[in-house]
Amino acid sequence: MSKLHPTIERVTQRIIEKSKDSRRAYLDLIDREADNQPERSQVSCSNLAHAYAGALEDQEALKTNTGPNIGIVSAYNDMLSAHQPYGRYPERLKIYAREVGATAQVAGGTPAMCDGVTQGETGMELSLFSRDVIALSTGVALSHAMYDGMLLLGICDKIVPGLLIGALRFGHLPAVFVPSGPMPSGVSNKEKQRVRQLYAEDKATRAELLESELGSYHSPGTCTFFGTANSNQMMMEMMGLHVPGAAFFQPGTKIRQALDRAAVHRVAAMGKDGNDFRPLGHCVDEKAIVNAAVGLLATGGSTNHAIHIPAFARAAGVQIDWTDLSELSKSVPLLARVYPNGSGDTNHFHEAGGMGFVISELLGAGLAHADVIGVGEERGMGQYAQEPWLDEDTLKWRDTGPSGNDEMLRPAANPFQPDGGMRLVEGNLGRACFKSSAVEKERWTIEAPCRVFSTQKQVADAFTAGELDKDVVVVVRFQGPRANGMPELHKLTPALGVLQDRGYRVALVTDGRMSGASGKVPSAIHCSPEALGGGPLSLLEDGDIVKVCAETGELSTTADLTARTPAPDPVPDMGTGRELFAMMRSSADEAEKGGSAMLAVAGL
């Protein structure tokens, strides 16, 4: 392992310095929590009886307090293909716990909404705040003080960040995240994108589109493109919160079950009564957060994590912002091209060497912290730079070797591009994120008259009417956390992609989010401050010249905004439960801090 790269060292030290007070407060909190958690033998017998009554065959072990009791927090539902495999997990995890003298109980469940199902629908306005609901649900699940460790079952977009935020407030306990793996590959992503664009141009029927989509999303497991869900799994590996190498083995396979078993055995071994105590709050430190950011950049992961990383970092007392991400991006090379940044999917990435290869390359180039604690049998990141395999029925690890596909994975010495492709753009229109790794370099700079919209439907109507057949910067405002919950605007991608394919120079500027599945069209997203309440986007008018430049980091207009009156704030819509989230909208902070009302009001 090489000496740490100076940029990684510099940014890490800056994060440590600005987090000094908040991190100290967090560590003091979890130390107090560890001291205050009562031994179960001292808890009221009535309380214990309530907790043990449903334990059936584990009841005797719980009564005699013979081993650690592990709390399972599950995001199971069978509407999400990624979470459908979790239905049978509790019974298996309990068996694995008994093998090492432990017990396990389902502490609670969390909601798990699917952004793929709610794209373009009103339910998407609940999506970002579902992360906070998941964190709250995790807190409720763990509030019973019955547990010596945590197993966290979740995969998709807001679910892993939400589980992590909630679990970190119980950071005096050890924890392991337990993924279930991606579905097998189906219709190629290139073909799926082709049919989507044909449909956008009215050249394919709805039946043809549905058949194509079902060919891609076809069975239990995570969607195979490298969106937010699979980026989550990548980051859990980079932070050392999985059993090493667990991210991308498919559901139902023998090695997947062996990795699940290892997860239970590891969390049981890391309790405070053993000789390998690893509380979650100490595992997730400044170095682990930097590793998550580095992994995101090196793999071209989802832009949603420009919001999630600052949010879950705050839960651990760590302060990281888009300046840090952008500076890291300048030194972290792009090692992977996975759809939407390449033709292959997550399964192809895994087969080519996957996370073991990526981590090995990053550590070898001094681009990641090797001394993150992790949850593997060996402390540090060394085991994460390998791949797990089964020697008959025994789980072992081995070196990954060179990339198995140079079109999918490349070494740090010969990357796809020299930087990580997530850039900060800023100027008189605010601060925003630009995912340059997904965009051809000749499109990194777009300067054109803008068209201003307040909804995705308005954009779609203008596209259908031919009003956007020109060089244009499409501005979609009032899509921030306080306006409508900051929904993903993935439905914009096919129409804007068509315009780009017709030869026009097109860009998107928005205070909303774009899906982890989005790419191709240059986009300044998460624009902060948001338009609601008079942010700069609220002052733009049709025809203003707007410039978006990833090369120079510019997001600006030549228009004089000083004398303009902001466009009126929209009246919040009701229905689909959106009105129940009014308190979250009204208290949410800016996207760069994570867009969270819960963390803002808590003073974190």
> Which residues contact residue 472 at a Cβ distance below 8 angstroms, ignoring those fewer than 6 apart?
448, 449, 450, 451, 499, 504, 506, 507
CB of 508 closer than 8 Å to CB of 474: yes
Mean pLDDT estimate for the chain = 94
Higher per-residue pLDDT: 362 or 215? 362
Burial of 466 (0-12, 13-18, 19+ CB in 10 A): exposed
**Residue-wise DSSP of 485-526:** ---B-TTHHHHHHHHHHTT--EEEEESSB--TT--SS-EEEE
pLDDT score recorded for residue 2: 78
pLDDT digit string (tens) for 45-95?
A: 999 899 999 999 999 999 998 899 999 999 999 999 999 999 999 999 999
572: left (phi over 0), alpha (psi -120 to 50) or beta: beta
Q: At residue 568, does pLDDT exceed 80?
A: yes
Q: What is the pLDDT at residue 519?
A: 66
Which homologous superfamily does the CATH classification assign to the domain defined by 422-570?
A: IlvD/EDD C-terminal domain-like (3.50.30.80)
With a cut of 90, say whether residue 292 has pLDDT above it: yes
User: 447 pLDDT exceeds 90?
Assistant: yes
pTM of the model: 0.95
How confident is residue 1, by pLDDT bands cut at 50, 70 and 90? low
Please check if 450 is assigned to a binding site. no
**3-state secondary structure labels for all residues of 370-397:** CCCCCCCCCCCCHHHHEEEEEECCEEEE
- At 197 the pLDDT is 82
Q: Is the pLDDT of residue 101 over 60?
A: yes
The residues, ordered by sequence, that sit 6+ positions from 146 with a Cβ below 8 Å of its Cβ are 40, 51, 69, 71, 105, 107
Give pLDDT tens digits for 458-504. Answer: 999 999 999 999 999 999 999 999 999 999 888 888 899 999 999 99
Q: Say yes or no to pLDDT of 588 above 90.
A: yes
Percent of the chain, pLDDT > 90? 83
Residue 430 corresponds to which tokens in the numbers above? 């605010």
Question: Across the chain, how many H-helices and E-strands are there?
Answer: 23, 14
Question: Is residue 515 very low, low, confident or very high in pLDDT (cuts 50, 70, 90)?
Answer: low
Cα-trace Rg, the chain: 24
Question: Rounded mean pLDDT of 157-176?
Answer: 97
Q: Compute the average pLDDT of residues 260-274.
A: 95
Are 229 and 156 within 8 A, CB to CB?
yes
Binned at pLDDT 50, 70 and 90, residue 518 comes out as low
Residues of the chain with CATH 3.50.30.80: 422-570
Give the pLDDT band of residue 121 (cuts 50, 70, 90): confident
pLDDT at 341: 82
The pLDDT of residue 177 is 98
- Compute the average pLDDT of residues 435-447: 89
pLDDT one-digit tens code per residue, 177-191: 999 999 999 888 778
3-class DSSP state of 399: strand
pLDDT tens for 202-232 read 899 999 888 988 888 889 999 998 989 999 9
- pLDDT tens-digit map of 301-345: 998 999 999 999 999 999 999 999 999 999 999 999 998 888 899
The structure tokens 């803002």 sit at 600
527 annotated as ligand-binding: no
| Averaged pLDDT, 135-148 | 96
